[in-house]
């Protein structure tokens, strides 16, 4: 999330909107955002986990999710997925590349 925060200006400059979502509670999301200087929305999928289920990123036997980044265009069409579990910097880098492609360059 911190790497997304660092890329936020460039992403927004290309017309992208950024939001994070996890199975954590609203309270823990707020504390995380405050502690890490996150200014974009952090959403909670707790306690129903409907978003995690809908996107197929749940972990079997656990209420947590896999780390994945989804990039949609303005029409709501899924254009890219970054699901690198080891390199967290791959997520903002991949999202930025996808947004640049969508923006035409």
Condensed to tens digits (0 to 9), the pLDDT of residues 26-50 reads 999 999 999 999 999 999 999 999 9
Domain limits for position 28 = 2-102
- Geometric angle at alpha carbon 103, from 97 and 105, rounded to 5°: 65
Q: Is 100 helix (H, G, I), strand (E, B) or coil?
A: helix
Output the domain CATH number for residue 38: 3.40.30.10
pLDDT tens sequence across 55-75: 999 999 888 899 999 999 999
Q: 15 pLDDT exceeds 80? A: yes
Q: Write down the pLDDT at residue 105.
A: 66
The pTM of this model reads: 0.92
Q: 87 pLDDT exceeds 90? A: yes
Smallest CA-to-CA distance from 23 within 65, 67, 57 is with 65
As for how many domains the chain has, the answer is 1
Q: Write down the pLDDT at residue 63.
A: 83
């Amino acid at each position: 999330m911190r790497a997304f925060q660092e890329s936020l200006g460039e992403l927004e400059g290309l017309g992208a909107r950024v939001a994070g979502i996890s199975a954590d509670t609203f309270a823990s999301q707020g504390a995380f955002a405050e502690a890490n200087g996150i200014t974009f929305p952090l959403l909670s999928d707790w306690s129903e986990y409907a978003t995690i289920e809908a996107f197929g990123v749940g972990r079997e036997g656990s209420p947590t999710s896999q780390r994945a980044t989804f990039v949609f265009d303005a029409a709501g069409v899924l254009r890219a997925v970054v699901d690198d579990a080891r390199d967290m910097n791959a997520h903002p880098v991949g999202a930025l590349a996808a947004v640049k492609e969508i923006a035409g360059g």
